[in-house]
Structure 1
Amino acid sequence: MGQETGDKKNLNNVKNFLAVLAGKGGVGKSTVAHGLAQAFHRKGFRVGVLDADIYGPSSSYLLPPDTFPKVKGEKVLPAISGGIKTLSAAHFPRGKRASVVRAPIATQIVSQFIEEVKWGDLDFLLVDFPPGTGDIQISLMQKIFFTGALVVTTPQELALLDVRKSMEMCLQMGVQMAGIVENMSYFSPPGSEEKYPLFGEGGGQKLADEFAVPLLAEIPIHPNPDIFDTLVGKLSLGKNECEIKQEDRYHFSIRWVDGKKSLYRFSDLQSHCPCVKCKEKAPLTHVEGEKIIPVGSYGVQVIFSKGCSKGIYPFSLLRKLG
């Protein structure tokens, strides 16, 4: 799916955007993202990797650059590593040491990576998300129309606590989950087919059952490239949009990417208008909906028959109301 927003025309020639996220650090998310990028490249696809982890960038280690980023006019050309385009905070001087920046500045840097980098023609742009479910992660999902999200976890229950939050974020932001990868699933000694689950078993399958998404791979502690080649073959990337439908003059519905359908009354929705002027107003009755305008992968704006139509209703709010 191409990117159509005016300030991100440099992404128009990217066919698929794949988020790789975990919500938790230390689960090997970056290793999976870069292994998957190399597998796509081996199969002949044009691939790029955006390392969005400002505080702990690892792309320059996992994909050592043959050429570094270059400035061309008002745009930046990404680094190249073995034919894969990549950009990371580690490619710049600040990346040589621990990055200590406040969250708004980190979010601004990620926005620049999206809006000022000329990625060119790509079949896949993989976005390696930082840990957490805060401003940076939400901004990424607002600014990029992801074709799908690949969720990485490890087997133990402690990891599932944070990974589950990232999956809930995908649902709230309207991003389709392509599946789950369980990393560090087991250890196999060299030359042996025995599998030793050092960190427990079943975590990935538990999340897959809970969120009704496929468990695509169980990756050992020391993976080989064949595992990522197999993972590429299992990925099924479809449309990421929620299905928004006006049922009648007074109601509309959203069918979410996980299959759940929510029904809304226009007058009830207007009573939750997030704009400042509506905070103290009494709700109106018999309000009809004249037009529903999707706002990227963030939410919707509704033109009502009367009252305020200025508010933008994020999918996170709509999910709760539904």
Structure 2
Amino acid sequence: MLTREQVLDAMNAFIEESAADQIAVRDVMVQGRQVSLTVLTVSGEAEPPLEAALRAALQRAGAETVHFRFRALEGAAGGAGTGAPQAERAAGGAGKAAAAGAGAKGPVKGHGAGLSSPLLAEGSGVQFIAVASGKGGVGKSTVTVNLAVALARKGKRVGLIDADIYGFSVPDMMGIEERPQVVNGRIIPIERFGVKVISMGFFVEDNAPVVWRGPMLGRMLRNFFAEIEWGELDYVLLDLPPGTGDVALDVHQILPQSKEIIVTTPHATAAFVAARAGAMAIQTEHEILGVVENMAYYACCSCGEKEYIFGRGGGARLAESLHTDLLAQLPLGQPDNHPSEPDFSPSVYKAESETGAIYLELAARIIAKTGQE
């Protein structure tokens, strides 16, 4: 089993041997023999020779797969340069390794520092809940949407931020066809099923792809807090992109008080990957409210017998590994909605349906855990 300390030692040795004074590392995460880390350089751009050398150093230490994120050193001209703080260097033993952010406590550095918003004001009483997953395709957005609607059905004032800026889907899932209006220079979110919604999908024409880099994503996320007229809310749910990339980093910085729900399927691999999102929450001192196991089973509509088509136990094992609760096990099945209905949506379950009832139970557990009863 590869440890974070071994990874840092390998980076120490590489930096000292190569005399690479303008390199630092942070955000080191190790899962088995899989390593993920951020490399700070003068340019902030990926450099294939450097990446190859770093990868070789980590593979010699025992890593099987390595994922790098390249960022610019802070405090230098144009965002990088020779004035970067040397405390972030990986070299120099345990003290400097901690300063590199690999094992140290403190905020993860994203693009969201210094944001001012009424939602973020001390004493606002808003509970922020980020819904995360390790990979796509596990139904994270479905869980986010239906939990938001269930909280609203419980009488709570709810906002929903579709923070999956590349893969936005919330407007379509909720059957939203209109666009937000601007009143007195402020954007009014769309309200649907009692939930106030904002999404990148409202600002993109004809489902065009979003081709942006990290800083632009961070600015858009900031705008979702700073330029939206949210009004008074009890909860704000954030549908995060899968994985632990730029937007997740920015959420961790903008919302140090946020809580998290981790979504997985019962499959062992999905739960293994979801553990990375949980590890990131723990590293950034976000409270994990619990795990939601989606697609836990399929209930036959004729006989009601349950078929566990994706296996069993992944959610429980993930919850155990993260020392948290398994909040709900949701069946695989499509909402019984028809386009002729006035409030039609493709993905919102009716309150009286079996799955809708499970979401109401989940909402009740969240309300109890967050002290909003």
* TM-score w.r.t. length of structure 2: 0.59
Aligned residues: 235
Q: 1:103 aligns with which of 209, 214, 228?
A: 214
User: Are 1:8 and 2:140 an aligned pair?
Assistant: no
Q: CA deviation at 1:173?
A: 0.8
Q: How does 1:1-322 map to 2 (within 5 A)?
A: 7-12=116-121, 13=124, 15-65=126-176, 67-94=178-205, 96-222=207-333, 224-235=355-366, 236-238=368-370
1:45 Cα deviation (Å)?
A: 1.0
Report the aligned-residue RMSD: 2.0
Q: CA deviation at 1:14?
A: 5.5
Task: Determine if contact 2:217/2:246 at 8 Å carries over to the other structure.
Answer: no
Larger mean CA deviation between 158-167 and 74-83 belongs to 74-83
Deviation (angstroms), 1:118: 2.0
CA displacement at 1:73 relative to structure 2: 3.3
Runs (4+) off by over 3 Å? 10-14, 236-239
Question: Residue deviations 1:123-160, cap 9 Å, x none?
Answer: 11111101110221011111124442111001112212
**Cα distance, 1:115 vs structure 2:** 2.0
1:172 Cα offset (Å): 0.8
Distance 1:95 1:17 in 2: 30
Separation in structure 2 between the aligned mates of residue 238 and residue 44 of structure 1, nearest angstrom = 15
Instruction: Give, in angstroms, the shift of residue 238 of structure 1.
Output: 4.3
- Partner amino acid for 1:172? Q
**1:93 Cα shift?**
2.6
Would you say the 8 A contact 1:19–1:127 is kept in 2? Answer: yes
> Which whole-Å CA distance do the structure 2 matches of 1:10 and 1:75 have between them?
14
Aligned mates of 1:93, 1:78 — CA distance in 2: 15
- Tell me how far 1:183 sits from its aligned partner: 0.4
SS in 1 for 2:128: strand
Percent of matched pairs sharing the same residue: 35
Q: Distance in 2 between matches of 1:116 and 1:95?
A: 23
CA contact (8 A) 2:330 2:355 kept: no
In 1, Cα distance between equivalents of 2:267 and 2:115: 43
Unaligned 5+ segments in structure 1 are: 240-322
8 Å Cα contact 2:171/2:177 also seen in 1 = no
Retained in 2: the 8 A contact 1:57–1:95?
no
Aligned partners of 2:115 and 2:254 also within 8 Å: no
In the alignment, the residues of structure 2 paired with residue 67 and residue 125 of structure 1 have an alpha-carbon distance, to the nearest angstrom, of 21
Unpaired runs of 5+ residues, structure 2, are: 1-113, 334-353
Looking at structure 2, the residues matched to 91 and 192 of structure 1 have their Cα atoms a distance apart, in angstroms, of 42
Contact 2:275-2:322 within 8 A present in 1 as well? no
What secondary structure, in the 3-state scheme, does the structure 2 residue paired with 1:142 have? Answer: helix
Quick one: which amino acid aligns to residue 243 of structure 2? G
- Contact persistence 2:115–2:222 (CA under 8 A): no
Q: Which amino acid aligns with 2:323?
A: A
In structure 2, give the amino acid aligned to 1:234: R
3-state SS in 2 of match to 1:237? helix
Q: Is this contact kept in 2: 1:183–1:219, CA < 8 A?
A: yes
Task: Report the Cα distance in structure 2 between the residues aligned to 1:233 and 1:41, rounded to whole angstroms.
Answer: 11
Distance across 2 between alignment mates of 1:44 and 1:108: 32
Provide closer, same or farther for how the CA distance between residues 139 and 95 of structure 1 changes in structure 2, counting only shifts above 3 A.
Answer: farther
Q: Is the 8 A contact 1:178 1:237 kept in 2?
A: yes
Q: What's the CA shift string for 1:67-125, capped at 9, x where partnerless?
A: 53122334322112132100011112346222222222222211211222121111111
Q: Give yes or no for contact 1:10–1:117 (8 Å, CA) kept in 2.
A: no
8 Å Cα contact 1:217-1:231 kept in structure 2:
yes
Which structure shows the bigger proportion of residues in strand conformation? 1
Task: Tell me if the contact between 1:17 and 1:145 (Cα under 8 Å) persists in the aligned partners.
Answer: no
- Work out whether residues 33 and 126 of structure 1, in 8 Å CA contact, stay in contact via their aligned partners in 2: yes
SS of 1:122's equivalent in the other structure is coil
